[in-house]
Structure 1
Amino acid sequence: MKRRRFLNSAVAISLMAVPLTGCAGQGPGRENLQSFGSIDEAYAAVDDIVDCDSKPVGDPVVPMGDGVRLTSAQRLCSENVQIDLYPNQDALEESYQTWAASRQGKIPLVRGSNWMVGDLSQIATGQQSTLNIERLAEKLNGVYAVVGA
Structure 2
Amino acid sequence: MEVEKLRVGKGRTRKSSDAEEWIKEYYELEATIKDSSELEIAKANLTGLIDGWLSALNKPSTKAAPKDANKTQTETPSWNPSKIRWEQVEGAKGPYEKSEDANSLDFKAMLKDLQNHNGKLTRDGNFFWVFQNGTTVGRKKRNPTANKIQ
TM over 0.5: no
Task: Name the structure, 1 or 2, with higher relative contact order (CA <8 Å, separation 6+).
Answer: 1
Q: TM-score, normalised by structure 2?
A: 0.29
The structure whose residues are more often strand, as a share, is 2
